[in-house]
Chain A
């Protein structure tokens, strides 16, 4: 199309140029003819003045004057015709030029639009995106540069994915390999504790320390394994319908001996008429035990820990509230990240792995729920877990693995 316009433009512009040339030629012919006519008349007038054939000379003079008049009339008409031709040529040429430019713009616009669309797809994460390289040399080289960039991005993303996979496999393998020696250490330490009566008090304490640390290692290993599974998309849940009361009561009962030993009160309040939940009992138990353990470990002796379950937004909200030391806002922002713990000065007294909340978040989101935390320094913290009810927002069919749906439960309370 562009070539067609270019040809038309060239032809019509050529026509205008030919017209102008023709006009100039006609003007030259007219001037030459007029000059010759004057020369003939002057010669006739000289003959007349000298009295040579005066009648014939007069006739020549009159004839030349008429001839020049005819030439003038003629050149007037010719000029008009030429002007028309040139005008028409110019108009056609300008139209052609306009069309040519719109054609040029159109031929650039298409590849540019394609580039814009491809950039959007690339930004959205489709690293297979490429553009057709063609059109004008500028758009073609732009397209080629884009494709090169996309290729490089894809290559690097591939390398990164490979490294991630290697890391996940390493954690899974390491976790497996570490488990056998840990089984022996824990098993034989337990064996010693079975014969506690035969040990001196100092020996018994020593074995107790070995056991505590072994259990901590096992917990760390389990948490690392959960995170590696989560990263690899292999963290799975096995949901079953369960009533909220039994879901909450079991972890609370588990924690009671520990909180009592520290002089902390642990109470629960379950709202009546809560809908049943479709959750993985063990995994939600893990989340609640983690929240309760955190409250227990971070709160001083004599603190109060209160667990509530309430109807909220088509689901159930489980909340663990304490009147402990609380957290500063900048700590709170990172609380669900890995290896994040409250005040570093406290970590020595706290037995957690720093992974519990990150895992809890993954587990709750795997259920189609959400987790959030609020805290006021010096007054206490509240952790909220929202889980969808069986009916209503059924985002988790049995066995569903994905479905990360963060719920709108950011309201400050």
Chain B
């Protein structure tokens, strides 16, 4: 394709945004020059990634540790049955799909757990971060890292038929810990796995997050929301709570006490909510050869592997091992049992 054609294509591709008063030529160019990270490529993450890829955000880092499952397809719009069958990690499958939608965008898929040892690298070189996570702990960690590096982020949460969003600009607007100083303990709050979630409610919250991102990246900071916005699609309600001022005594944005970030060692085992699975992490991360591991495990059970992961079926358990030593053991919710299987078949 000649350069002229390429320019024409870009003109056509973004034509409806270029003529949109709030974006225009300048705003479109700013989107093309922008860099974002999406932490968690699940329900919210796939919707926001799709919208911002089509809108022309130039660089998108997609971070997720999981593989698509059949129960994800109801709301995680970038995956299909073949991704579930092929066992391609979510971050890689999303980047593949989105590259076909808009090849002008640079994608960086990272298949990894997000924890205090690596989050700063993921967010410090981007203009904005989208929260696509599904748990409280990661959001507090993201809040710490974003305040530390002065990177704005857009919180989104959704459950059942309702959800909420809030835009956090470090040093300017209240942060997550100003509004909710303490995270609910695991088990204190319902999750998508215990309460269910409506795909349309996800799309609504993701639309709010995407729009806030576009406002920020195009430079229209005065139009950013200064509220915590709550929606319930079943009630068809849209409510906003004013956020007021930053809390001067906020541990994170007031005192720069980054308790979640300073918790350096990632947990060795994590219960992967509702999926009857335990994740095991090895610190420091080794560099495993999946091919040699496959050879070692041939006699233990049915083994398959690709560039991203190895999977072995073991007597009612399924173990998925990644090159960084991380493993997801399906078929148990007992961390001790998961660790013993890992020690036996992979080695600790």
The answer to whether A and B assemble together is: no
